């Protein structure tokens, strides 16, 4: 039996608006007013998103971000910082759903695995030899740069991280979003993450893995087809509802565009 979900494709927008959209849909799904949603989006301007509990310190250069015209925003989800380039180099996804929407998948790691299966199938459909990492080998402190370490049930290509994801839950309702790298600007990464000695050492991109850079739309189509085939979903294109749009406006104004939230003091 197929399950009806919304496919939400939004125009590139700033970091505050992108994060407000994700939270508005997440809150709406928790309240039962929003449908389960797979969202594909991009960023304008390019933006560094900080993890919910991450410090804005010397590991992420706010000065370099200002000089380069790169935005800064704090996510509602955890993990480490990610540089989100424009749609020519990155597709960002989010999955907002309940355990029931996933057919009764309740455990956090099982949820990661459920989503990873869709992501991995999409990358393989594009021609990348992607694999799900069940138990990564990692030592030392959590790095400031998300792609410097692979977590459980994340995606690697040839032993290098290709997708960075983070999740937050409220009861049985969750928001997970992540970055799929189409290509990368090494000089920007080095400027924005000055304490990460070699940001490319542990990561890869679809361009590097495939020998060509797939388009944003090609990746979005692959995600849609993969999640439908892998999980028996019926992804129906739709936009934000009135209640969600009002929540986005409020969350931008009161949270994501504020210096207090960015500083982590909210």
Active site residues: 146
65, 82, 87, 152, 203 from 68: Cα distances, Å? 5, 16, 17, 33, 22
- Residue 44, sorted as left (phi over 0), alpha (psi -120 to 50) or beta, turns out to be beta
3-state secondary structure 72-105: EEECCCCCCEEEECCCCCEEEEEEEEECHHHCCC
The pairing of strands 154-157 and 71-74 is unpaired
What is the C-alpha to C-alpha distance for residues 206 and 145, in angstroms, rounded to an integer?
A: 19
What is the C-alpha to C-alpha distance for residues 63 and 69, in angstroms, rounded to an integer?
A: 10
Tokens 């009861």, residue? 171
């Amino acid at each position: 039996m197929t399950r009806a979900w919304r496919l939400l494709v939004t125009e590139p927008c700033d970091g505050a608006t992108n994060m407000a959209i994700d939270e508005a849909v997440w809150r709406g799904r928790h309240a039962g007013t929003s449908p389960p949603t797979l969202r594909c989006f991009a960023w304008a301007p390019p933006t560094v998103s900080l993890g919910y509990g991450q410090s804005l310190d010397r590991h992420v250069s706010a000065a370099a971000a200002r000089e380069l015209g790169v935005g800064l925003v704090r996510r509602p989800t955890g993990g480490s910082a990610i540089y989100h380039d424009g749609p020519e180099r990155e597709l960002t996804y989010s999955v907002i759903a309940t355990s029931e929407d996933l057919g009764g998948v309740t455990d956090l790691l099982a949820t990661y695995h459920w989503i990873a299966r869709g992501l991995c199938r999409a990358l393989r459909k594009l021609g990348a030899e992607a694999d799900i990492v069940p138990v990564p080998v990692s030592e030392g402190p959590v790095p400031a740069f998300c792609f410097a370490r692979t977590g459980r049930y994340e995606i690697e290509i040839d032993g290098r991280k290709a997708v960075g994801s983070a999740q937050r839950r409220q009861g049985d309702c969750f928001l997970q979003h992540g970055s799929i790298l189409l290509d990368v600007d090494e000089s920007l990464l080095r400027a924005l993450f000055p304490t990460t000695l070699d940001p490319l050492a542990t990561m890869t991109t679809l361009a590097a893995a495939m020998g060509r850079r797939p388009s944003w739309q090609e990746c979005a189509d692959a995600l849609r087809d993969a999640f439908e085939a892998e999980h028996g979903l019926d992804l129906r294109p739709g936009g934000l509802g009135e209640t969600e749009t009002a929540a986005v406006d409020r969350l931008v104004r009161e949270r994501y565009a504020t210096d207090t939230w960015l500083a982590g003091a909210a």
